[in-house]
Amino acid sequence: MIKLENVTKTFAGDIHAVSDLSLEIGEGEFVAFVGPSGCGKTTALRMIAGLETVTSGRITVANRDVTQADPGERDIAMVFQNYALYPHMTVRNNLAFGMKINRFARSEIAQRVDEVAKLIGLEEYLDRRPSQLSGGQRQRVAMGRALIRNPNAFLMDEPLSNLDAKLRVHMRVEVRRLQQEVGTTTVYVTHDQVEAMTMGDRIAVMRGGVLQQYGRPDDIYDRPANAFVAGFMGAPPMNLFRAGLTQDGTTPVLVVGEQTMKFDGRLSTDFNIANGAGKQVIVGLRPEDIVVDAAAGTLKDLRVSLVESLGAERIAHVGFGDAIKFDRTETGSNDIPDDMMLQIRLSRSTPVPELGSNVAIQFDPANLHLFDVESGKSLRRD
Amino acid sequence: MADIAELPSKRARRIGGTIAVRLAIIVLCVLWITPTLGLFVSSFRTEFAIQTSGWWTTLLDPFNRAQWTLDNYARVITGEGMGQAFVNTIAVTVPAVVFPILVAAYAAYAFSWIEFRFREFFFALFIMMIVVPLQLAFIPLLRAWTALDLSNSLIAIWITHAGFAMPIALLILRNFIAALPAELIEAAKMENANHFQIFWRVVFPLALPAIAAFGVFHFLWIWNDFLVALVFLGGNPDVQVVTMNLQKLLAARGSDWHLLAAAAFVTMIVPVSVFLALQRYFVRGMLAGAVKG
Ligand SMILES: Nc1ncnc2c1ncn2[C@@H]1O[C@H](COP(=O)(O)OP(=O)(O)OP(=O)(O)O)[C@@H](O)[C@H]1O
Ligand SMILES: [Mg+2]
């Protein structure tokens, strides 16, 4: 179990790498820290490891306050991005290093090395040096070095980023399998949201040193806490665009350009928009939640400007064209892309819309997301 | 078009350059090797042979056993004290090499990987000592050793040599050790290794090329040193080193070429073997100093 309470890290020169980070990671849980480059993931991980001092806040590992403890006292194993294998030692000695340092009996070390070598499938390679291994094998040794000690937690900083795409997918499963086998609490840092989605029991999305959302992958995907998380998780990302909020009698409606979206009054039951009339909101729609319909739909007169084929599916880029003008100078959340282009995921069975043609789109109101235009926060009722 | 037209002249220039470089190397080799070879041959010739004919004449008739002898070596080593001097030199050199390197390597580790106050300042202070000329320290050091009743002792010269070597050793080793990947040291820290364990199990093996390079360099310097030995051991004939013995021979028997040649070779044998065995490190050490220093 790992608990962070208001953990903050400020580097010299007033760089707030991590601000007021609080979260709890349950025993045996696999948590992925994800976010764009420079958002403080590594810094947060290194503070848990003890390799970086904490400016303020508290870190608890296995019910012990380790905020001031040395890295070695925390009984945590770390897997580094470039593996950090000792180049002058064989695989065997790399695996055994920690146990030797901590004066385990020789017979016990030998036994554990054999067990772990079997677990990571490197029994044949124990007498090789790291330089004589492939990238994937080195990665396994790095994993093995963490596994051998049975520590309180594993910390991994982008451990797969040096592997090619195919091997990465394979090792993703492998890392998760090993972790589940030993049931050790794990913090896994990645900037790849797919990795986070597929591997994490829970995901912590960070941005600019601030935790944006912490939750199960499905929750984060289906109920993003703000427009940033909505746009960051998912590929292609969620479509975000502005819409006006007005009242049609007593029912709130969304206005995009000249067009009005009604949703039979669902807006007020699903979203906190009671005092919103006359304001703007950010509308979010996942590419796969949109259906293209040549004739009628919720929004009409959208122009098809590009259709990409990805084999299993197609991505249609559909623009509002000149029909709808947006005031870009308006203040507010800058999470909305400048070009008002919607990406729509089409299954192979749907007919390909013709380039340049005008189409209408439709979606289930249950899949609609609304965010506050200033704070970016989700307006969905809990 | 222009490219093609230029090609022949470019090529000619390149070949010309290569030839010039090779020629220079050959000239240098001949200039250095001829006297050394002459000395080497002479050291095995009899006194009479040396006085009557040039050393190259033996090469024309190398199987004439009468002109070869080992007497020169026997005399120099036993009669002229070269054997004792050889042992003394080893006694001076080995600790004077190992001691500063070990201390400098520890210091380099601390200056690279341990955070402490005024780290950069102290490092700069140590490195600045490089500009202090040896000679400046002689008088105060001599007085210090006398005051400590250590003058003309091995301990005095070990510490003296170590002190003179320290700044440059620290500079070279820190440049190397600080450039090791931080993750390796952090990984060891995560495994609960203390600084000693990190140093001996991770840093030292990885810094071995730099340590060996500097070690070879420093070893040769101390072995061939005359000045420091003369100043700090000159008063005690029991601890004369080879360079001092050679100088004494030169003064007393300046015309006995057969003895001088043999003595010179006794002096040279260790540096030459060390150099040949470890030239890989030697070249790298000079580069480390040149590029990074
Ligand atoms: N030692 C340091 N000194 C000063 N600033 C630092 C230091 N380490 C990190 N930072 C800054 O702290 C912020 C967070 O860095 P961090 O390495 O944690 O980002 P990250 O999320 O891991 O990014 P990436 O995905 O690129 O690895 C960045 O703005 C970075 O420049
Ligand atoms: Mg990082």
Residue B31 has pLDDT above 50, yes or no: yes
Best of B190, B196, B200, B208 to disrupt the A interface by mutation (most A CBs within 10 Å)?
B190
What does the DSSP assignment read for A253-283? EEEETTEEE-GGGHHHHHB--TT-TT-EEEE
Smallest Cα distance from A75 to chain B, Å = 8
* Residue A209 CA to ligand 1 centre (angstroms): 9
Q: What are phi and psi of A314, to 5 degrees?
A: -125, 150
In this prediction the pTM is 0.82
Q: What is the pLDDT of residue A321?
A: 62
Inter-chain touch A71–B206, beta carbons under 8 Å: no
ipTM of the complex, rounded to two decimals: 0.85
The answer to whether the beta carbons of residues A2 and A26 sit under 8 Å apart is no
Structure tokens at A128: 């090789």
Banded pLDDT at B217 (limits 50, 70, 90): confident
**Distance (Å, rounded) from C-alpha A364 to C-alpha A366?**
5
Beta strands in A158-293, from DSSP E residues, in sequence order: 185-190, 202-207, 210-215, 239-248, 251-256, 259-261, 280-285, 290-293
Picking from B2-11, B101-110, B130-139, which range would have the lowest pLDDT averaged per residue? B2-11
Inter-chain touch A51–B190, beta carbons under 8 Å: yes
Best of B186, B189, B191 to disrupt the A interface by mutation (most A CBs within 10 Å)?
B191
Say whether residue A87 is in contact with chain B using an 8 A CB cutoff: yes
Smallest Cα distance from B203 to chain A, Å = 10
* Residue B61 CA to ligand 1 centre (angstroms): 76
The answer to whether the beta carbons of residues B264 and B43 sit under 8 Å apart is yes
Average predicted confidence (pLDDT) for chain B: 85
Query: Which chain A residues are within 8 Å of B197, Cβ to Cβ?
Result: 101
The distance from CA B22 to its chain's CA centroid, rounded to whole angstroms, is 27
Average predicted confidence (pLDDT) for chain A: 88
Other C-beta atoms closer than 10 Å to the C-beta of B247 total 14
Interval A130-189: pLDDT, tens:
999 998 899 999 999 999 988 999 999 999 988 888 888 988 998 999 999 999 999 999
Residue B3 has pLDDT above 70, yes or no: no
**Distance (Å, rounded) from C-alpha A344 to C-alpha A116?**
46
**Distance (Å, rounded) from C-alpha B211 to C-alpha B123?**
19
Q: What is the pLDDT of residue A98?
A: 93
Q: Residue A78: which of B187, B193, B194 has the nearest Cβ?
A: B187
Angle, CA A124 vertex, CA A122 and CA A127 arms, to 5°: 95
Other C-beta atoms closer than 10 Å to the C-beta of A170 total 13
* Residue A43 CA to ligand 1 centre (angstroms): 6
Please report the atom of ligand 1 found closest to the CA of residue A11. Answer: 4
Angle, CA A72 vertex, CA A67 and CA A75 arms, to 5°: 80
Asked whether the CA dihedral A215, A221, A226, A231 is positive or negative, the reply is: positive
% of chain B residues with pLDDT over 70: 93
Q: Residue A84: which of B187, B193, B205 has the nearest Cβ?
A: B187
Q: What is the pLDDT of residue B105?
A: 95
Interface of A with B in 20-79 (CB under 8 A): 49-51, 70-73, 75-78
Say whether residue A104 is in contact with chain B using an 8 A CB cutoff: no
The answer to whether the beta carbons of residues B246 and B264 sit under 8 Å apart is yes
Is residue A358 within a helix (H) or strand (E), and if so which, with residue range?
A: strand A358-363
Amino acid occupying residue A38: G
From A14, A33, A43, the mutation candidate for ligand 1 (largest count of ligand atoms within 8 A of CB) is A43
Inter-chain touch B183–A71, beta carbons under 8 Å: no
The answer to whether the beta carbons of residues B154 and B91 sit under 8 Å apart is yes
Report chain A's terminal Cα–Cα distance, integer Å: 28
What is the phi-psi region of residue A137: left when phi exceeds 0, alpha when psi lies from -120 to 50, beta otherwise? alpha
Comparing A275 with B282, which gets the higher pLDDT?
A: A275
% of chain B residues with pLDDT over 90: 33
Exposed e or buried b for every residue in B145-176, given b needs 16+ CB within 10 A?
beeeeebbbbebbbbbbbebbbbbbbbbbbbb
DSSP assignment, residue A367? G
Query: Which chain A residues are within 8 Å of B207, Cβ to Cβ?
Result: none
pLDDT (mean) for B40-67: 80
What is the phi-psi region of residue A145: left when phi exceeds 0, alpha when psi lies from -120 to 50, beta otherwise? alpha
pLDDT (mean) for B283-291: 52
Ligand 1 neighbours, Cβ below 6 Å, are A 11, 15, 17, 35, 37-43, 191
pLDDT (mean) for A213-229: 94
Say whether residue A95 is in contact with chain B using an 8 A CB cutoff: no
Smallest Cα distance from A72 to chain B, Å = 4
Interval B113-145: pLDDT, tens:
999 999 999 999 999 988 888 888 888 888 999
Residue A331 has pLDDT above 70, yes or no: no
Nearest one of A299, A282, A378 to A344, comparing CA atoms: A299
**Distance (Å, rounded) from C-alpha B204 to C-alpha B210?**
10
Domain ranges in chain B are 2-71, 74-290
Q: Partners of A380 in the beta sheet?
A: A271
Angle, CA B62 vertex, CA B59 and CA B68 arms, to 5°: 105
Residue A333 has pLDDT above 60, yes or no: no
Banded pLDDT at B284 (limits 50, 70, 90): low
**Distance (Å, rounded) from C-alpha A335 to C-alpha A143?**
37
Residues 6 or more apart from A246 whose CB is under 8 A from it? A252, A253, A255, A260, A277, A278
The answer to whether the beta carbons of residues B281 and B211 sit under 8 Å apart is no
Sheet holding A30-34, edge to edge: A76-79, A153-157, A185-190, A30-34, A202-207, A210-215
Residue A38 has pLDDT above 50, yes or no: yes
Instruction: Report the chain A residue with the minimal C-alpha distance to residue B196.
Output: A101
pLDDT (mean) for B52-77: 80
Of these ranges, A17-31, A251-265, A367-381, the one predicted with the greatest mean pLDDT is A17-31
Inter-chain touch B189–A71, beta carbons under 8 Å: yes
Q: What is the pLDDT of residue A9?
A: 96
pLDDT (mean) for A196-205: 96
The answer to whether the beta carbons of residues A252 and A269 sit under 8 Å apart is no
Q: Partners of A303 in the beta sheet?
A: A319, A358
The CATH number of B74-290 is 1.10.3720.10
Nearest one of A19, A74, A100, A50 to A185, comparing CA atoms: A74
Best of A45, A82, A97, A148 to disrupt the B interface by mutation (most B CBs within 10 Å)?
A97
Instruction: Report the chain A residue with the minimal C-alpha distance to residue B200.
Output: A101
**Distance (Å, rounded) from C-alpha A8 to C-alpha A15?**
11
Query: Which chain A residues are within 8 Å of B189, Cβ to Cβ?
Result: 50-51, 70-72
Instruction: Report the chain B residue with the minimal C-alpha distance to residue A149.
Output: B191
Interval A246-294: pLDDT, tens:
888 788 888 887 788 888 778 888 888 877 778 888 889 999 999 887 6
Best of A101, A112, A138 to disrupt the B interface by mutation (most B CBs within 10 Å)?
A101
Q: Partners of A359 in the beta sheet?
A: A302
Nearest one of A287, A273, A272, A297 to A344, comparing CA atoms: A287
DSSP assignment, residue A298? S
Q: Domains in chain A, please, with CATH?
A: 2-231 (3.40.50.300), 237-372 (2.40.50.140)
Q: What is the pLDDT of residue A51?
A: 95
Banded pLDDT at A326 (limits 50, 70, 90): very low
The answer to whether the beta carbons of residues B145 and B153 sit under 8 Å apart is yes
Q: What is the CA radius of gyration of chain B?
A: 25
The answer to whether the bond into A353 is cis (omega within 30° of 0) is no
Q: What is the pLDDT of residue B4?
A: 53
Banded pLDDT at A334 (limits 50, 70, 90): low
The distance from CA B76 to its chain's CA centroid, rounded to whole angstroms, is 24
**Distance (Å, rounded) from C-alpha A288 to C-alpha A291?**
8
Query: Which chain B residues are within 8 Å of A87, Cβ to Cβ?
Result: 206
Q: Residue B190: which of A72, A81, A82 has the nearest Cβ?
A: A72
Structure tokens at B8: 């022949």
Smallest Cα distance from B178 to chain A, Å = 16
Supply the residue whose CA is at minimum distance from atom 12 of ligand 1. A17
**Distance (Å, rounded) from C-alpha A252 to C-alpha A268?**
7
Smallest Cα distance from B183 to chain A, Å = 5
Banded pLDDT at A112 (limits 50, 70, 90): very high
**Distance (Å, rounded) from C-alpha A317 to C-alpha B223?**
78
% of chain A residues with pLDDT over 70: 95
Q: Which ligand is nearest to the CA of A204?
A: 1
Banded pLDDT at A123 (limits 50, 70, 90): very high
DSSP assignment, residue A133? S
Say whether residue A98 is in contact with chain B using an 8 A CB cutoff: yes
Q: What is the pLDDT of residue B283?
A: 67
Banded pLDDT at B293 (limits 50, 70, 90): very low
* Residue A152 CA to ligand 1 centre (angstroms): 25
Say whether B220 sits in a helix, a strand or coil. helix
Q: What is the CA radius of gyration of chain A?
A: 25
Supply the residue whose CA is at minimum distance from atom 5 of ligand 1. A11
pLDDT (mean) for B10-27: 85
